[in-house]
Amino acid sequence: MSRALRGATYPRGFRAGGVACGLKRSGRPDLAVLLSQQPAEAAGVFTTNTLKAAPVLLGEEILRRNPSGIRGVLTVSGVANAMTGPEGIEDNRRVLLGAEQCFGLPADALLPACTGVIGPRLPVETVLSGLVPLREATGAGRSCERAAAHAILTTDTRAKQVALSGRLADGTRVRVGGMAKGSGMIAPRLGPPHATTLGYLTTDARVHAPALARMLADGVERSFNMVSVDGDTSTNDTVYLLANGRAGGPYADADPALRALMVTALESLARQVARDGEGATKLLTVTVRGARNLADARSAARAVVGSTLVKAAVFGADPNVGRIACALGYSGARLDPERIDVSLRTAHQAVPLIVEGRPAAGLDNGGGKRVRELLRRLDEVPLEIALHEGRAAATAWGCDLSYSYVQINAAYHT
Amino acid sequence: MSRALRGATYPRGFRAGGVACGLKRSGRPDLAVLLSQQPAEAAGVFTTNTLKAAPVLLGEEILRRNPSGIRGVLTVSGVANAMTGPEGIEDNRRVLLGAEQCFGLPADALLPACTGVIGPRLPVETVLSGLVPLREATGAGRSCERAAAHAILTTDTRAKQVALSGRLADGTRVRVGGMAKGSGMIAPRLGPPHATTLGYLTTDARVHAPALARMLADGVERSFNMVSVDGDTSTNDTVYLLANGRAGGPYADADPALRALMVTALESLARQVARDGEGATKLLTVTVRGARNLADARSAARAVVGSTLVKAAVFGADPNVGRIACALGYSGARLDPERIDVSLRTAHQAVPLIVEGRPAAGLDNGGGKRVRELLRRLDEVPLEIALHEGRAAATAWGCDLSYSYVQINAAYHT
């Protein structure tokens, strides 16, 4: 069950807040905290980019040292704190220490995350000056949580939240919540202990940290790692998962219902990130079925969602189905060109685009007025691809390539 | 030595021609032939896309059967003849057969190539109707050759030609010429016997087909395979190399001077393709030095040239050096983030952008007015990257990402 307008503080025992400390020239909120009232078991996945930002290196280190005593996440938005070397790590440490003192927490209780421009040093004093206001703005209410979900954004146009609840095998009712940001430099490839996609998931379920790490790694593979806005894998991508156990009951380390809730929550956030891709006018959802194996299904789905030419065609509502076939062909997935089927599958209809490797009737000469009109109307373009090679399936999320994308990225830095 | 305005018919014994047979709605030339007066040894590299277009499959087959008796290349522009199955191959065979008859050549004397929209069948009768006019328009003069070089284009804005001459080890003077097309769907990954990049190289040197194949494969690795416009690897990419031996002298199968001429010619064509990338306002040249090995050098150079965010920043003349570092980080090349140096190296100056992994002075907060002005003025943006990990080097060519790119590709098909 999804609860609109709630997110990371929907599970019991979590609070959040967001303020503007002065990092963003726009004056928008840029400092956020997410807190658990009691120590939480925690897991994280981080970017696989070789140039890991300071908060990524530091977050990995803190999780190694203190996986069962985490009290929250402190996010700085506007500066990535990447390309800043050991000084960057030291800067981030000072900020965390300041926050831990301000919130009355022990050392290593807070996990760091940053997002924004790569290159500049973290303005430590500016961030420190925002801590007391942040503490005063932190609570469990809907508005505090919205403020936090907004403060972690950069070029995003909307906050991304999710809230779910369910019953575990033993009958315990648990809640799962989350927030995310991400609009550009989005092609997360997060590894087990590996997005500037940021995502924080919370739950009041009782789970040990190693089991949380497995759940998170598995869920991220099917969600954030299947999103591409621009194919650029950021230096700062981070997804954290905090479980504070407030729901009680026995440990749910292997509970399938909890695992399913996590995947659903992560997929929801991943879709929201893709939908809000820089300059996006449409969400592109590509589901590949009948692949030889999962790796093939994932590469095929990712290739189509990541194809610049497919993205531009979707923006133009142009049923240029050859571009879809072309992307499948270079995806590396094993396939027989003569057996590929592709359709546009909405809630109400399935319109064939490619049938047994050929453009569907009427689409082979730029025809397909009906398809064109459908594409124009759709806010979400759902492509369904059947390879007929096996039984594996995967879904990837992306967005179209618009003039605004170019505008945003030709001028973002300046 | 480069001869302006000459190309594929610069080597002795080659002729060319181009006409409009009616495939392109614009009425532009769309049918081209390149001919050798005598049988030539030939080699080809073709796309590694699993969805190989009919002319690719057919070209591979003809080269296998008749590598030493090739008389030329027939190019159809406007239709890719891809996603057309066995019928597409049959269509292409009929067109080749018609051309061979029209030009008085034996069977399997002509190699095929197509470029254009993926999906539609090849309009065989339309192409056949253009053959007699094509024969009348074919000659060894500059204007015939220009007509051919134009007739192979699609969204390109200019013809791409190269002409070189040199002396081999044994004293023989040889000529190397070529033409190419390519503007979108450009990220060729051509394999040995493996571009809708089309490139045709001619030479009057005397070389056996297997040696030609090796020279071509090696040259393409350093040239066409290092170009990216949009990251989409086409179903039709093809590069052919024809050697008719008219220069005389002994076989030059292992001649280093000939090999060097080939690489230079291929690099020239590759640069011209990148410069004319769809919507491009600037050529982007990325040279990586000091890589651990050649594979690392190539992946690093290709990642930067292919980064959507770097391309948008170049369009905006924005010295957003973090995006360069980020792309290096996800390239897969082994590197130490603290040792990367990047500079903008023009003929007149070398301006540091990244020094030992940090933004160069003035560039860390979106500053760098001078760099910004330099970027705005440059027609070619030459980035030089030093990894300090080893001695391998590679260069990749690409272009910026402009509003026009989106416009061209949101509407190309319609």
Whether residue A139 sits in one domain with residue A56: yes
- Helix H segments across B119-249? 124-129, 131-136, 142-151, 209-222
pLDDT in tens, B332-388: 999 999 999 999 998 888 999 999 999 998 786 656 888 899 999 999 999 999 999
User: Which stretches of A48-82 are assigned E, i.e. beta strand?
Assistant: 70-79
Residue A77, token pair as written in the block: 């938005």
pLDDT in tens, A235-282: 888 889 999 999 999 999 999 999 999 999 999 999 998 898 888 899
Residue A1 in any domain: the answer is: no
Given a contact cutoff of 8 angstroms between Cβ atoms, the answer to whether A286 and A400 are in contact is: no
The maximal CA–CA distance of chain B, rounded, in angstroms, is 68
User: Average pLDDT, stretch A126-153?
Assistant: 95
Residue B27 in any domain: the answer is: yes
- Chain B nearest-CA distance from A270, in A, is 20
Nearest of B92, B124, B123 to residue B108 by alpha carbon: B92
Residue B84 in any domain: the answer is: yes
What pLDDT sits at residue B193? 34
Residue B1 in any domain: the answer is: no
The answer on pLDDT for B298 being more than 90 is yes
Domain boundary (A275, A301, A323) is at: A275
Residue B76 in any domain: the answer is: yes
- Among B26-40, B173-187, B256-270, whose mean pLDDT is lowest? B173-187
What pLDDT sits at residue A228? 83
Residue A214 in any domain: the answer is: yes
Q: What is the ipTM of this complex?
A: 0.79
pLDDT in tens, B243-293: 999 999 999 999 999 999 999 999 999 999 889 888 889 999 999 999 999
CB pair distance less than 8 Å for B83 and A325: yes
Given a contact cutoff of 8 angstroms between Cβ atoms, the answer to whether A21 and A52 are in contact is: no
Enzyme catalytic residues of A? 196
CB pair distance less than 8 Å for B50 and A323: no
Residue B343, token pair as written in the block: 């500079």
CA separation for the pair B148, B159 (Å, rounded) = 9
Q: Which of B51, B315, B323 sits opposite A329 (nearest CB)?
A: B51
What pLDDT sits at residue B167? 93
Given a contact cutoff of 8 angstroms between Cβ atoms, the answer to whether B83 and B51 are in contact is: yes
Q: Which of B329, B363, B412 sits opposite A235 (nearest CB)?
A: B329
Residue B341 in any domain: the answer is: yes
Query: Which residues of chain B make contact with A406, given a CB cutoff of 8 A?
Result: 312, 315, 401-403, 405-406
CA separation for the pair B146, B7 (Å, rounded) = 8
Residue B117, token pair as written in the block: 């929209």
Query: Which residues of chain B make contact with A320, given a CB cutoff of 8 A?
Result: 117-118, 412-413
Instruction: Write the DSSP string, A278-335.
Output: TT-SSEEEEEEEEESSHHHHHHHHHHHHH-HHHHHHHHTT---HHHHHHHHHHS----
Per cent of chain B over pLDDT 90 is 68
Whether residue A337 sits in one domain with residue A263: no
Whether residue A369 sits in one domain with residue A258: no
What pLDDT sits at residue B406? 83
Given a contact cutoff of 8 angstroms between Cβ atoms, the answer to whether A231 and A311 are in contact is: no
Whether residue A164 sits in one domain with residue A37: yes
Q: Is A287 exposed, middle or buried (0-12, 13-18, 19+ CB in 10 A)?
A: middle
What pLDDT sits at residue B302? 92
Whether residue A401 sits in one domain with residue A304: yes
- Counted domains in chain B: 2
What pLDDT sits at residue A195? 36
| Spatial strand order in the sheet of A283-291 | A358-359, A350-355, A341-345, A380-386, A283-291, A392-399
Which residue out of B23, B50, B375 would a mutagenesis test of the A interface target, given it has the greatest number of A Cβ atoms within 10 Å?
B50
CA separation for the pair A289, A389 (Å, rounded) = 9
CA separation for the pair A410, B389 (Å, rounded) = 32
Share the mean pLDDT of chain A: 90
Domain boundary (B275, B297, B315) is at: B275
Whether residue B290 sits in one domain with residue B271: no
What pLDDT sits at residue A5? 73
User: Average pLDDT, stretch B110-139?
Assistant: 95
- Among A363-367, B45-49, B142-146, B403-407, whose mean pLDDT is lowest? A363-367
Q: Are strands A358-359 and A350-355 parallel, antiparallel or unpaired?
A: antiparallel
Whether residue A404 sits in one domain with residue A387: yes
The answer on pLDDT for B3 being more than 80 is no
What pLDDT sits at residue B1? 39
CATH number (domain holding residue B26): 3.60.70.12
**Letter for the amino acid at A343?**
S
What pLDDT sits at residue A262? 94
Q: Which of A232, A326, A329 sits opposite B327 (nearest CB)?
A: A232
Residue B141 in any domain: the answer is: yes
CB pair distance less than 8 Å for B117 and A323: no
Nearest of B258, B191, B257, B181 to residue B220 by alpha carbon: B191
Share the mean pLDDT of chain B: 90
Model confidence at B121, pLDDT cuts 50, 70, 90, reads: very high
Model confidence at A362, pLDDT cuts 50, 70, 90, reads: confident
Whether residue A303 sits in one domain with residue A262: no
* Domain with A301 in it: 283-411
User: Average pLDDT, stretch B205-231?
Assistant: 90
pLDDT in tens, B235-244: 888 889 999 9
Whether residue A336 sits in one domain with residue A271: no
Whether residue B291 sits in one domain with residue B244: no
Residue A330, token pair as written in the block: 């270079």
- Chain A nearest-CA distance from B315, in A, is 6
CA separation for the pair B278, B274 (Å, rounded) = 9
> Which residues are CB-neighbours of A147 under 8 A, at least 6 positions away?
A16, A17, A18, A19, A29, A32, A137
Whether residue A130 sits in one domain with residue A187: yes
CB pair distance less than 8 Å for A121 and B412: no
Query: Which residues of chain A make contact with B322, given a CB cutoff of 8 A?
Result: 80, 82-83, 117-119, 235
User: Average pLDDT, stretch A19-24?
Assistant: 94
CATH number (domain holding residue A350): 3.10.20.340
Which residue out of A237, A292, A309, A404 would a mutagenesis test of the B interface target, given it has the greatest number of B Cβ atoms within 10 Å?
A309
Instruction: Label residues B296-310 b or e (16+ Cβ within 10 Å = b).
Output: bbbbbbbbbbbbbbb
Domain boundary (A275, A303, A321) is at: A275
What pLDDT sits at residue A370? 86
Q: Which of A315, A338, A413 sits opposite B410 (nearest CB)?
A: A315
Whether residue A164 sits in one domain with residue A287: no
Identify the three-state secondary structure at position B258.
helix
> Which residues are CB-neighbours of B55 under 8 A, at least 6 positions away?
B76, B81, B92, B112, B113, B114, B236, B238
User: Average pLDDT, stretch A169-189?
Assistant: 83
CA distances from A331 to B25, B47, B85 (A): 32, 13, 20
CA separation for the pair A155, A413 (Å, rounded) = 11
CB pair distance less than 8 Å for A312 and B406: yes
HSE-CB at A72 with a 13 A cutoff on CA atoms is: 27
Chain-centroid distance of CA B262 in Å reads: 13
The answer on pLDDT for A186 being more than 80 is no
Model confidence at A69, pLDDT cuts 50, 70, 90, reads: very high
Nearest of A195, A93, A215, A72 to residue A145 by alpha carbon: A72
Chain-centroid distance of CA A210 in Å reads: 21
